[in-house]
Structure 1
Amino acid sequence: MKEKMFMRVDEVAEKMDVSKPYAYKIIKRLNEELKKKGYITITGRIDRKYFYEKFYSSKTNE
């Protein structure tokens, strides 16, 4: 099964082992970075590839 392009708060919270409110803060911060680069973002979701680049730069998503 192909992975979805975006991660939602539940998945971010699980991967980072943090609460959902904190996961929302992480997503918001990453989306702000993407907006500054000129990308369109979706509230409450983060691009999977960008998430892994920021947190696990040399590790592929599992």
Structure 2
Amino acid sequence: MNKTKNLNRDVFVRVDTLMNELKISKALAYRLMKEMNDELRSQGYLTISGRVPKAYYHARFFGMGVEKS
């Protein structure tokens, strides 16, 4: 595997990851992926269809790095 593919795996989450980690259908995974990309786009970020940054996915679903008081 080349360096670019390794970087891509380390940085982005794809639909299959959502399906496996969240135990959801492919259709729902695609809908959630689109919603996250729409949110990122509205914040001014460039997006890639079918992929979202791993850090954003974890923050959005699991609240990683966000402390609630």
Aligned equivalents of 1:20, 1:44: Cα separation in 2? 12
| Unaligned runs of at least 5 residues, structure 1 | none
Give the one of 10, 14, 20 matched to 2:20: 14
Q: Tell me how large the CA RMSD over aligned residues is.
A: 1.8
Q: CA deviation at 1:58?
A: 3.7
Provide the identity percentage.
34
TM-score, normalization: structure 1?
0.84
Structure whose alpha-carbon radius of gyration is higher: 2
Query: How many residues of Structure 1 are paired with residues of Structure 2 in the alignment?
Result: 59
Larger relative helix fraction: 2
| Unaligned runs of at least 5 residues, structure 2 | 1-5
TM-score, normalization: structure 2?
0.76
